[in-house]
Amino acid sequence: MSNHVIEHVHNVGNYLSEISRILKKNGTLVISLLNVMNPRFFLGMLCADLESKLIEFSKSKLDNYDKAGDHINAWDPIHFCNLCASVGFLLERYMPVEGVPFPFNKLFKPYVNIRIDRVKNLSYTMVFQFKKVKNIVINNND
């Protein structure tokens, strides 16, 4: 079980490879992480002055990086499945959870629980259940 850890890990290939090493063949990995395919993320990308905001963000992180609190990785469901398959895991189940996040605004609640499957896929948090089917070792330079 890995709960909201992988978005804080610098070398995710090594992280998943180590999980694979200690997990028995056909063992189960349950992993939860944030989903970048949500309105709060992609609406933020529509900012008119994104470049200057990114430059300021970069400057602030040089002096104030917090490994425990700052996310350095983010995935959508397709790219995360690709990553996990590349180290020997087969997806058994995908669960969008925690509601769909909207930008912080008085008009919207922070998370809206929507029962429409296609919209539910834009949830803030994703939970995956994988089965280990291959033992693939990732080296530091991979």
- pTM: predicted TM-score of the whole model, two decimal places: 0.85
Per-residue pLDDT reduced to its tens digit, 52-65: 999 999 999 998 98
Per-residue pLDDT reduced to its tens digit, 8-43: 999 999 999 999 999 999 999 999 999 988 887 877
Q: Look up tokens 């925690």; give the residue.
A: 98
Contact present, 124 and 98 (Cβ < 8 Å): yes
- Collapsing DSSP to helix, strand or coil, 27 comes out as coil
> What CATH architecture is 2-132?
3-Layer(aba) Sandwich (3.40)
Residues 86, 100: Cα–Cα separation, whole Å = 28
Residues 110, 100: Cα–Cα separation, whole Å = 8
Asked if pLDDT for residue 105 goes beyond 80, the answer is: no
pLDDT at 109: 64
Q: How far is CA 1 from CA 5, 20, 28, 74, 106, in A?
A: 10, 12, 8, 18, 36
